[in-house]
């Protein structure tokens, strides 16, 4: 993971250098003054395929099988559209790093990337850099998608991105282990703790010193915001900032559960979990060395793969509950947006709409267990056969808890960064949750200007 991070850091540096050169600024120390925002690029340039080849670059994710799946969709588009080359640009795994890369392109108003894969939390923060897909034919298909995601992607009436796949946090558990130790899947965090501790102890005694109870996303990044929001929401501790723009994070229920999670480090979870992203957790899990894992649906098909040590021996359930009595899953997911700086926005929009259409979402669902945003795909037999949990956990997907990105736009990334840093400092034992959240609420007030509840 570190190597991949390094690779991306290098790439960011190169891009920063390019951006400053482009902006006519020789030094790399000071970021180039952004030009006066140019008049928004006129979207409606008629994109007559002029006989000349057009290249469309799609900046896409590479977690799990994402990159291969996106490349395959690009091939299908090219088969149907001779004269168009679709390049897929591999971007960093961690959401913050990917955002950093995108911001460099935006600052340069670069036409290098035409289509961006954007997180469900970014439409509000990034809306100004994208075209309105309503003006490029999305209106014909948008009603097929979950209305809540369409609403999330609509900023001031503008459809910033077409929904591509949705995500919700799940609990992965080892069916063979629960059978061996005579447990039912845990429904509360306390039960999970108890089971994870006993299974870990038993498996270590049975000769696997690497076995751990529970892996999840504890690195200081967006993934931790997702995990921590699940703990807090399941414990009746709110959503950091409420939809009506009150700062709610400094409350006893939130404090209590984050302190509880800090107690997992070095007990049921490895100390290294405070540096784990999704793929680190999956590596431990898929190697057969964890009883439980919190992750997104993409890990399901990979876990059932022929090279997985846990194939046939795991299932998924809703995440455990705290005081609220019900588990909470954070809403995740990714969309495709067309850059306002693209030289070929019409063709770029065609690519985006193609990649997000029924057939392509179906392939991604069947092959990569990436949850469709097109509702009818949840009735599709092949999709359900590959992913029975799309049906059995349907409620989890449609009731997933949103991060406060709409309420805090365009400052969501700053809000989330302050939050995950505060939680991370509790996990690493630098402070306790009461102290961390007392400071955090003031930071959030500075960032947003909202009142504290
Ligand atoms: C997944 C989710 C995304 C979230 C990210 C955090 O990719 O789909 O919404 O921000 O994980 O790591």
DSSP per-residue string spanning 2-63 = HHHHHHHHHHHHHHHHHHHHHTT---SSSPPPPPSPPPPPPTT------SS-EEEEEEE--S
Q: So where are the chain's domains?
A: 2-15+52-167+332-395, 170-328+411-452
Looking at residue 2, its pLDDT comes to: 45
Q: Rounded CA gap, 304 and 82, in Å?
A: 36
- In 124-178 the beta strands, taken as DSSP E runs, fall at 154-155, 158-159, 162-168, 170-174
For residue 178, with 0-12 CB atoms within 10 Å meaning exposed, 13-18 middle and 19 or more buried, which class applies?
A: buried
The residue contributing the CA closest to ligand 1 atom 9 is 332
**Which residues does residue 115 pair with via DSSP β-bridges, in sequence order?**
58, 338
Alpha helix stretches (DSSP H) within 336-411: 345-355, 358-368, 381-386, 388-392, 394-398, 405-408
Looking at residue 52, its pLDDT comes to: 74
Looking at residue 6, its pLDDT comes to: 55
Equal CATH topology for 2-15+52-167+332-395 and 170-328+411-452: yes
**Which residues does residue 371 pair with via DSSP β-bridges, in sequence order?**
166
The residue contributing the CA closest to ligand 1 atom 4 is 332
Q: Report the DSSP pairing between strands 115-119 and 54-60.
A: parallel
Task: Find the residues whose C-beta lies inside 6 A of ligand 1.
Answer: 95, 119-121, 167, 222-223, 226, 278, 296, 332-334
The atom number, within ligand 1, closest to the CA of 330 reads: 9
Angle, CA of 351, 354 and 360, to the nearest 5° = 130
Closest CA to 18 of 142, 123, 104, 139: 104
Tell me the whole-structure pTM to 2 decimals: 0.90
Looking at residue 40, its pLDDT comes to: 44
| Architecture in CATH for domain 2-15+52-167+332-395 | 3-Layer(aba) Sandwich (3.40)
Looking at residue 41, its pLDDT comes to: 46
Largest CA distance in the chain: 70
Looking at residue 81, its pLDDT comes to: 97
- Residues 315 and 92 sit within 8 Å (Cβ to Cβ): no
Best residue among 296, 401, 406, 417 to mutate for probing ligand 1's pocket (most ligand atoms within 8 Å of CB) is: 296
For residue 98, the CA-to-ligand 1 centroid distance in Å is 11
Looking at residue 76, its pLDDT comes to: 98
Domain range 170-328+411-452, CATH class = alpha beta
Best residue among 60, 227, 332, 334 to mutate for probing ligand 1's pocket (most ligand atoms within 8 Å of CB) is: 332
Q: Rounded CA gap, 126 and 111, in Å?
A: 16
For residue 412, the CA-to-ligand 1 centroid distance in Å is 14
pLDDT tens digits along 217-254 = 999 999 999 999 999 999 999 999 999 999 999 999 99
Best residue among 65, 126, 222, 230 to mutate for probing ligand 1's pocket (most ligand atoms within 8 Å of CB) is: 222
Looking at residue 137, its pLDDT comes to: 96
- Which stretches of the chain score pLDDT less than 70? 1-51
Angle, CA of 244, 249 and 253, to the nearest 5° = 115
Looking at residue 29, its pLDDT comes to: 37
């Amino acid at each position: 993971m570190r190597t991949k991070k390094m690779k991306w850091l290098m790439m960011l540096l190169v891009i920063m250098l390019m951006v400053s050169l482009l902006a006519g600024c020789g030094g790399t120390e000071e970021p180039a003054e952004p030009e006066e925002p140019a008049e928004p690029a006129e979207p409606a340039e008629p994109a007559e395929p002029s006989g000349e080849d057009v290249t469309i670059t799609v900046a896409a994710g590479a977690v799990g099988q994402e990159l291969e799946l996106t490349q395959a969709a690009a091939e299908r588009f090219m088969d149907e559209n001779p004269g168009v080359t679709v390049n897929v640009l591999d971007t960093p795994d961690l959401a913050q790093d990917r955002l950093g890369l995108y911001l460099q392109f935006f600052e340069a108003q670069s036409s290098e990337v035409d289509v961006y894969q954007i997180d469900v939390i970014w439409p509000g923060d990034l809306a100004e850099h994208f075209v309105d897909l309503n003006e490029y034919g999305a209106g014909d298909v948008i009603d097929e998608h979950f209305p809540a995601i369409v609403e999330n992607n609509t900023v001031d009436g503008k459809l910033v991105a077409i929904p591509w796949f949705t995500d919700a946090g799940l609990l992965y558990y080892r069916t063979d282990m629960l059978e061996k130790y005579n447990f039912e899947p845990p429904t509360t965090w306390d039960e999970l703790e108890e089971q994870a501790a006993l299974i870990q102890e038993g498996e270590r005694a049975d000769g696997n010193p690497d076995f751990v109870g529970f892996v999840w996303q504890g690195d200081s990044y967006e993934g931790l915001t997702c995990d921590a929001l699940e703990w807090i929401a399941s414990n009746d501790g709110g959503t950091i900032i409420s939809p009506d723009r009150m700062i709610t994070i400094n409350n006893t229920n939130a404090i209590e559960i984050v302190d509880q999670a800090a107690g997992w480090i070095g007990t049921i979870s490895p100390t290294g979990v405070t540096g784990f992203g999704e793929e680190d957790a999956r590596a431990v899990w898929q190697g057969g060395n964890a009883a439980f894992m919190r992750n997104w649906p993409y890990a399901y098909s990979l876990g059932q793969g022929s090279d997985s040590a846990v194939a046939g021996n795991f299932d998924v359930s809703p995440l455990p509950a705290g005081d609220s009595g019900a588990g909470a899953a954070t809403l995740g997911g990714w969309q495709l947006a067309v850059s306002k700086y693209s030289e070929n926005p019409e063709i770029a929009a065609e690519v985006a709409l193609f990649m997000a259409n029924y057939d392509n979402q179906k392939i991604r669902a069947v092959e990569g267990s990436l949850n469709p945003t097109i509702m009818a795909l949840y009735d599709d037999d092949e999709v359900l056969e590959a992913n029975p949990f799309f049906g059995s956990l349907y409620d989890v997907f449609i009731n997933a808890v949103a991060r406060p990105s709409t309420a805090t736009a365009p400052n969501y990334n700053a809000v989330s960064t302050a939050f995950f840093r505060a939680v991370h400092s509790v996990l690493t034992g630098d402070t306790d949750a009461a102290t961390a959240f007392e400071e955090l609420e003031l930071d959030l007030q500075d960032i947003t200007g909202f009142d504290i509840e």
